[in-house]
Amino acid sequence: MKTNYKAIIFDFDGVLNDTEEIKFDVWQKIAKKHGKKINKEFYIRNCCGRSGKKIAGDLVRKYGIPMKVDRLPKLMHKASIPLLKKHMKPIKNNIQFLKKSNKIFKGNVGIASSQEIGMLRYSLKKLKIFRYIREIVSGYKMKNTKPAPDLYLKICKKLKIKPKECIVVEDSEAGVKSAYNAGIGRIIAIPREFTRYQDFSKANIVIRKNSLKIKMLL
């Protein structure tokens, strides 16, 4: 199969591994310790796909959680890691898409995620897809996170391609905007339950069904 692009980059959480329910539950437990309850619809519409610090800021402002914004993401990360390791939920259709992409792009496949790098590598190995990936970039410690373009600019540099020469697969508004702001050539959005209400107007293609027709995407 021929394509005009030189590489493809996948987000991880929500694209290859369904993690949003676990993340929401952890945030909810933190809020409950302080006598607060997070509305799920608010979380879905405002928090999914964003960095831990930005989510923490929104929750502190909305619910008055009496904690410093800088401390909350660290607390959330520490509490979520054991659960994420225990409850892997591979998104099978997207994983098959990644495996086929590895062949189409001659191994030029990247992962760009806000997840911490150690957890990211662990998850990719656990899902048995680590060998299909050429480069991995984590935005966990980046100053400018999605929707800033930094994450995608960095992985394009590692893959030795121009942003306009690659495809990005995302599931969130913040991720799509990050790719758009980086000047990515083609952006594919595959919304999940927790991101279905978000704005995907910056994507070239939005897939809301399970079937992926790869010829149409590349």
Rounded to whole angstroms, the Cα distance separating 27 from 208 reads 27
Per-domain boundaries in the chain: 7-18+89-216, 20-87
pLDDT in tens, 108-131: 999 999 999 999 999 999 999 999
Q: What is the pLDDT of residue 144?
A: 92
pLDDT in tens, 175-209: 999 999 999 999 999 999 899 889 999 999 999 86
What DSSP string runs through the chain? ---S-SEEEE--BTTTB--HHHHHHHHHHHHHHTT----HHHHHHHTTTS-HHHHHHHHHHHH--SS-TTHHHHHHHHHHHHHHHH---B-HHHHHHHHHHHHHTTT-EEEEESS-HHHHHHHHHHTT-GGG-SEEEE-TT-SS-TTSSHHHHHHHHHHT--GGGEEEEESSHHHHHHHHHTT-SEEEE---GGGTTS--TT-SEE--SS---HHHH-
Specify whether the CB–CB gap between 167 and 6 falls below 8 A: no
Rounded to whole angstroms, the Cα distance separating 152 from 9 reads 9
- pTM comes to 0.90
CATH topology of domain 20-87: DNA polymerase; domain 1 (1.10.150)
Q: How far is CA 98 from CA 32, 41, 124, 197, in A?
A: 38, 30, 12, 25
- Judged against a pLDDT cut of 80, whether residue 218 lies above it is answered with no
**3-state secondary structure string, 3-18?**
CCCCEEEECCECCCEC
Strand order in the sheet with 109-113: 135-138, 109-113, 7-10, 166-170, 186-189, 205-206
Q: What is the pLDDT of residue 138?
A: 95
Specify whether the CB–CB gap between 115 and 77 falls below 8 A: no
CATH topology of domain 7-18+89-216: Rossmann fold (3.40.50)
CA proximity to 9, closest of 147, 162, 122: 162
- Judged against a pLDDT cut of 60, whether residue 211 lies above it is answered with no
pLDDT in tens, 3-58: 889 999 999 999 999 999 999 999 999 999 999 999 999 998 888 888 888 899 99
What's the average model confidence in pLDDT over 80-94? 92
pLDDT band at residue 214 using 50, 70 and 90 as cut-offs: low
